[in-house]
């Protein structure tokens, strides 16, 4: 997964907004560079454990991408705060009702949520991913895959090629090499088919060999052509077996309307599925959803790609797999109360930090360079 999750236009927009905040500071920011801990008691910040954005380290300590960002902001503004763990709806309600100063996790900016809370500028851009069962079916699955249409299409194509070259060599040899390619047409073509097969596999028993000039030219061409043909068919058969073993009912977003789909309750993904009229089953946690996929109680679980990808690598390797493509872009922001007096200050620090090498280095630590 690429460590640079922001499109180029988002980087440009971030820099432009940062310039506006610097050149045209708000009255509240221009009046200070003060320490907010002197103005109020310790702030409560809602959070939810969603690795790798929020990771529970125990004893009320948290780490992860979102925590790394928020603590940089808090230190820059001199804020004293403590974390309160909550679910998604609890965080949104807590901020809206004034219980929390902010909510920090992997929270997607949506129009529905903007009706009751405000968001900072996006700090991370991703998309929805689809988790499906990892079907490694072993010996039985490999045997079953021998009876798939794709496999037999490859076999029939190979037989057709052998028959073509067998007939071709028979045409040249049937008169002057009767003892090897003579007899009836069926016998001669059968001998030609056998010669083409042993030549292709380089077995070369020597019981059949062309003697005429035309036959030898055919043999010469077929020997070199067969090297390419055998490589192609080996790859095609191997691919057919592999795809069959890993096949699932859901191969992309287009399959979701006709599948048993799971989502996290009260998530932006659930809102999206409702808008698309896709029936879903909700789960209280990502672990529960991925377990349901592993046990094939549902066909797919849909959530933000980096989150379920990270969890699969940590806890569901070779049990659940993530389909390669994402859809429906998701923009993560920090949740603030509507008309928060600190929004501009927080945005200034956020925009500056997500364009820094320190931020890029941290993303590489979690996601690597790929």
pLDDT in tens, 346-357: 999 999 999 999
Instruction: Calculate the alpha carbon distances from 213 to 5, 204, 221, 223 in Å.
Output: 64, 19, 12, 15
Taking Cα atoms as reference points, which of 151, 157, 191, 148 lies closest to residue 171?
191
Task: Clarify whether residues 21 and 74 are in a common domain.
Answer: yes
Q: What angle do CA 280, 284, 288 make, to 5 degrees?
A: 85
Please tell me the predicted confidence (pLDDT) of residue 292. 96
Is the peptide bond preceding residue 58 cis, with omega within 30 degrees of 0?
Answer: no
Task: Clarify whether residues 204 and 259 are in a common domain.
Answer: no
**Rounded mean pLDDT, 280-295:** 95
Return the CATH number at 211: 1.10.287.70
Q: Would 128 be classed as within a structural domain?
A: no
357 contacts: CB under 8 Å, gap ≥ 6:
none
Number of structural domains the chain divides into: 3
**Full residue range of the structural domain in which residue 276 is found:** 250-322
What is the chain's mean pLDDT, rounded?
83
Q: Would 131 be classed as within a structural domain?
A: no
Task: Clarify whether residues 164 and 214 are in a common domain.
Answer: yes
Instruction: State yes or no: pLDDT of 16 exceeds 70.
Output: no
Q: Would 81 be classed as within a structural domain?
A: yes
Task: Clarify whether residues 240 and 258 are in a common domain.
Answer: no
Task: Clarify whether residues 23 and 64 are in a common domain.
Answer: yes
DSSP single-letter state for residue 109: P
More confident residue, 15 or 322: 322
Task: Clarify whether residues 240 and 255 are in a common domain.
Answer: no
Residue 11 pLDDT class (50, 70, 90 cuts): low
Q: Where among 193, 217, 246 does a domain terminate?
A: 246
Q: Write the pLDDT tens digit of every residue in 193-247.
A: 888 888 887 755 567 788 888 888 988 898 888 888 888 877 776 665 555 445 5
Greatest mean pLDDT among 65-74, 195-204, 319-328? 65-74
Q: Where among 246, 281, 299 does a domain terminate?
A: 246
Residue 312 pLDDT class (50, 70, 90 cuts): very high
Q: Would 95 be classed as within a structural domain?
A: yes
Helix ranges (H only) for the chain are 8-23, 27-30, 65-77, 88-96, 138-145, 149-173, 178-181, 185-200, 213-246, 268-275, 286-294, 305-315, 343-354, 357-367
What percent of the chain is predicted at pLDDT more than 90?
A: 55
More confident residue, 364 or 231: 364
Q: What angle do CA 69, 71, 75 make, to 5 degrees?
A: 120
Distance CA 120, CA 70 (A): 11
Q: Would 3 be classed as within a structural domain?
A: no
Q: Would 327 be classed as within a structural domain?
A: no
Task: Clarify whether residues 230 and 172 are in a common domain.
Answer: yes
Instruction: State yes or no: pLDDT of 303 exceeds 90.
Output: yes
Q: Would 2 be classed as within a structural domain?
A: no
140, two tokens: 């039985």
Distance CA 48, CA 86 (A): 6
More confident residue, 68 or 211: 68
**Rounded mean pLDDT, 142-168:** 79
Task: Clarify whether residues 199 and 114 are in a common domain.
Answer: no
Task: Clarify whether residues 103 and 208 are in a common domain.
Answer: no
Q: Write the pLDDT tens digit of every residue in 38-62.
A: 345 789 999 999 999 999 999 889 9
Instruction: State yes or no: pLDDT of 27 exceeds 80.
Output: no
Instruction: State yes or no: pLDDT of 250 exceeds 50.
Output: yes
Please tell me the predicted confidence (pLDDT) of residue 237. 67
Distance CA 242, CA 141 (A): 10
Task: Clarify whether residues 12 and 108 are in a common domain.
Answer: yes
Task: Clarify whether residues 213 and 292 are in a common domain.
Answer: no
Which segment of 120-129, 146-155, 318-327 scores lowest on mean pLDDT?
A: 146-155
**Rounded mean pLDDT, 297-307:** 95
Return the CATH number at 313: 3.40.190.10
Q: Where among 246, 264, 289 does a domain terminate?
A: 246
Instruction: State yes or no: pLDDT of 176 exceeds 70.
Output: yes
Task: Clarify whether residues 264 and 308 are in a common domain.
Answer: yes
């Amino acid at each position: 997964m690429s460590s640079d999750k922001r499109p180029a236009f988002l980087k440009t927009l971030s820099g432009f907004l940062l310039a506006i905040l610097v050149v045209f500071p708000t009255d509240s920011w221009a009046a200070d560079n003060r320490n907010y801990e002197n103005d109020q008691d310790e702030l409560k910040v809602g959070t939810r454990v969603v690795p790798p954005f929020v990771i529970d380290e125990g004893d009320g300590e948290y780490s992860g991408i979102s925590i790394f960002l928020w603590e940089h902001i808090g230190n820059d503004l001199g804020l004293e705060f403590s974390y309160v763990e909550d679910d998604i709806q609890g965080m949104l309600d807590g901020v809206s009702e004034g219980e929390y100063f902010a909510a920090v996790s992997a929270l997607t900016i949506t129009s529905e949520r903007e009706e009751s809370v405000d968001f900072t500028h996006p700090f991370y851009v991703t998309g929805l991913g689809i988790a499906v069962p990892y079907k490694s079916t072993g010996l039985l699955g490999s045997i079953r895959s021998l009876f798939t249409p794709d496999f037999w299409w490859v076999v029939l194509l190979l037989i057709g090629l052998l028959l073509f070259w067998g007939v071709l060599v028979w045409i040249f040899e049937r008169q002057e090499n009767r003892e090897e390619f003579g007899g009836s047409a069926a016998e001669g073509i059968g001998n030609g088919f056998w010669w083409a097969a042993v030549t292709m596999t380089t077995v070369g028993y020597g019981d059949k060999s062309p003697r005429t000039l035309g036959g030898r030219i055919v043999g010469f061409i077929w020997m070199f052509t067969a090297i390419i043909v055998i490589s192609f068919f080996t790859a095609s058969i191997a691919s057919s077996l592999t795809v069959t073993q890993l096949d699932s009912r859901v191969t992309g977003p287009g399959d979701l309307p006709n599948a048993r789909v799971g989502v996290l309750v009260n998530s932006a993904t659930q809102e999206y599925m409702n808008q698309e009229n896709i029936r879903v089953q909700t789960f209280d946690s990502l672990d529960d959803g991925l377990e349901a996929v592993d046990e094939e109680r549902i066909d797919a679980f849909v959530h933000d790609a980096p989150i379920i990808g990270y969890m699969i690598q940590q806890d569901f390797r070779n049990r659940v797999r993530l389909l390669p493509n994402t859809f429906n872009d998701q923009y993560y922001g920090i949740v603030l109360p509507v008309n928060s007096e600190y929004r501009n200050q927080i945005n200034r620090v956020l925009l500056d930090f997500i364009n820094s090498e320190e931020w890029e280095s941290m993303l590489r630590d979690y996601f690597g360079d790929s």
